[in-house]
Structure 1
């Protein structure tokens, strides 16, 4: 084979090889291109998915913001409506107070017009502090100055449900001679500033036997657990051994539970001393302790209540006060006035044992429980809560009470910085704390401050 043929053969072989390589390259591209396209498509899908997620998050955040704005608007409207209702309620309450209290239409303190006038020379022959308006006296209160003031302090004429007032010509001789009276200086409770929430109340200067201030002090009220002051007094006058014991019964605990009474925490079978029952009656206002005292002294609550009403007669209060139970449960025939309750507290504070119990802040019984293995701790919350308040002196004794019909009540005995004592009783406050601040307000307003 010549050189020409060899070159042609080589050229042909090269062309064949190039065709083969070209074909292989094309096939390789055909195989690789779909993979790259798929990869690109996957990346695009991921980006699209991420964009959708971001969009959803944005939409969710916008929805949350809209929802929050709606809640804020709703909350604002709720507060606005609630505030309006409260203001309307206060306005109605204030209007009712103005209508109910003498001098209210002119924005004066109760009885303000006549209470500021001199009562000299206005003493009536039949005298007495009236709880029933003009012409009707209270024989258990001796004649005194300021009957015009007394008329206004007593509020409106009592309704028929208050019963018949005592006859003016009916003599009443009682050994208890403490009879505070209205004078030309007697005024109504403060209205400006915080004011006094209680609907009925009285402040008495013990030494002078004068009513310093009041608000419807002769209106009939239910004394609630202030009743237990008389329960304590009657028991103290009949008990001879404070360490004698009483075994708590299921009837007593059931009575307390059924009537939803506050208790000292004694259980069936507990053997409790009479002294512990007295502290349990006053400090935590325990119905279980009061009922136990009643049974210990008289054999039953009914018999003990008879002793309580006998004591009211001895105090000269039977014409305006009558009790049906020793606990203070509401009953239309269980009533007195804040004036009466002040005198009951005075009689109790004159009794050494009662004064000791009524002045105790804390007391621990010998009865141990699982929760209190060292003994049941009893506390007088009124005394503990008021002791750091400025009362222009010190609150010495106190007993609280509450029933729906009377609101929060309290009776307290205080001394000013010179040791002069005062009685304060209030009824109809809106809460236990408001009741405490009513007493603080009254003492601050009328007791002399510290002398420099």
Structure 2
């Protein structure tokens, strides 16, 4: 076990070094672009002035004979025969027929418009980048909707958990006497749908990268082909750098499989992978976030949860509660594919031109909690961090009898204490 952890830590260190190199390269690129934007207009203005001066000097030095000949033609009203022939041809064509001719010409304009007509929106670059996303659903008649509802096909399960007389409050210390560091927490028994323990579970927090649990759930419900590919863009790689986000390590112009984007979103909490998924599915992040908020509404959580981005970047209007995140986590593990992604301890992406050996990814939370005494096994986990919410995490575990639990905590003052809080809660309540 120790040897395996050391190997993974070495891989993580290589990954950190690669990400740091990418950050430095991105910093140089942005610096160059800022200088270019600053001085390019000045250079363009100088070139324009030079061209005007050059054109003016040519006019001033034009031979007088040519000028006199041009003036004579203008005065006499003479026109070149070729010009008259051309005008007559155009006139005759317009008289002959011309509704069909106009239609043909307009069709040609459409074909030749190329860049304007064929330019794919962001997310359709490289030909097939939205081919895996679900197309717009056909409209269903009112009768059809009633039939679907009767069949149960149109019902979205709403996840809830109840406070009972046995629900225990969590303070600075647990009943065991052990210290508890997180300021917000909830532990849910999935068999009974009861809240076993809580601490300010309904208070508003910023969910940080726990947001990505909903990101992969919405994406998983809308992706058709996991083997499809997406071309990483400069805008996507810039986004993570500018907002100081963690990264999976994908590079500009890299052809990444959709499957790899899912794992890149969860294991290293990659903003590049999450944003690429959003663009692939919806065309842009804004539209994808609308889909996320519709999902929140379907889950019955719209009164206390709202998202403004798919990554977890801090925003006053990007908020949730640890209770709501527990319900989102429950919805995610009910999706077999999402559960599989969040269960992975390690993963290596497919070989690409930029990464011939793939990128080694690991779920730091799962690798660090697996040797803790939890009274069972922690199956899935997704961490997060922003200054306003400290270290936070959402996890799913089963005890020795197979009973399932979800734990969500926020605002611990270190990731290790966040992990410690999850282990302590599972241990105390899984054994009762």
The bucket for the TM-score relative to the shorter chain is 0.5 to 0.7
What are the ranges of 5 or more consecutive residues in structure 1 without an aligned counterpart? 1-172
SS of residue matched to 1:413: strand
Query: 1:354 matched to which residue of 2?
Result: 338
Aligned in 2, Cα 1:369/1:402: closer, same or farther, shift over 3 Å?
A: farther
1:437 correspondence with 2:420: yes
How big is the shift at 1:369? 7.8
What is the rounded CA distance, in whole Å, between the counterparts of 1:345 and 1:219 in structure 2? 18
How big is the shift at 1:179? 1.3
1:185 correspondence with 2:169: no
Query: 1:322 matched to which residue of 2?
Result: 306
Hey, which bits of structure 1, 4+ residues long, moved more than 6 A? none
Contact 1:369 1:376 in 2 (8 A): no
Contact 1:249 1:268 in 2 (8 A): yes
Query: 1:138 matched to which residue of 2?
Result: none
How big is the shift at 1:366? 1.3
| Residues matched between the structures, number | 276
Contact 1:195 1:441 in 2 (8 A): no
Query: 2:395 matched to which residue of 1?
Result: 412
Query: 1:290 matched to which residue of 2?
Result: 274
1:393 correspondence with 2:383: no
1:211 correspondence with 2:195: yes
What is the rounded CA distance, in whole Å, between the counterparts of 1:184 and 1:209 in structure 2? 14
Q: Deviations along 1:349-370, whole A, 9 cap, x unmatched? A: 0001000001000110014588
How big is the shift at 1:374? 2.1
Contact 1:176 1:316 in 2 (8 A): no
SS of residue matched to 1:331: coil
How big is the shift at 1:337? 0.5
Q: Deviations along 1:202-251, whole A, 9 cap, x unmatched? A: 00000100000000000000000000000000000000000000000000
Q: Deviations along 1:30-51, whole A, 9 cap, x unmatched? A: xxxxxxxxxxxxxxxxxxxxxx
Contact 1:270 1:367 in 2 (8 A): no
Highest Rg: 1 or 2? Answer: 1
How big is the shift at 1:178? 2.5
Structure 1 residue aligned with 2:358, among 367, 375, 381? 375
What is the rounded CA distance, in whole Å, between the counterparts of 1:314 and 1:297 in structure 2? 19
Query: 2:215 matched to which residue of 1?
Result: 231
Q: Deviations along 1:39-97, whole A, 9 cap, x unmatched? A: xxxxxxxxxxxxxxxxxxxxxxxxxxxxxxxxxxxxxxxxxxxxxxxxxxxxxxxxxxx
What are the ranges of 5 or more consecutive residues in structure 2 without an aligned counterpart? 1-153
Query: 2:34 matched to which residue of 1?
Result: none
Structure 2 residue aligned with 1:247, among 231, 248, 259? 231
Higher relative contact order (CA 8 A, sep 6+): 2
Contact 1:174 1:315 in 2 (8 A): no
SS of residue matched to 1:389: coil
Query: How high is the TM-score relative to the length of structure 1?
Result: 0.60
Aligned in 2, Cα 1:246/1:369: closer, same or farther, shift over 3 Å?
A: closer
What is the rounded CA distance, in whole Å, between the counterparts of 1:431 and 1:313 in structure 2? 32
Query: 2:128 matched to which residue of 1?
Result: none
Q: What RMSD in Å do the two structures reach over aligned CA positions?
A: 1.5
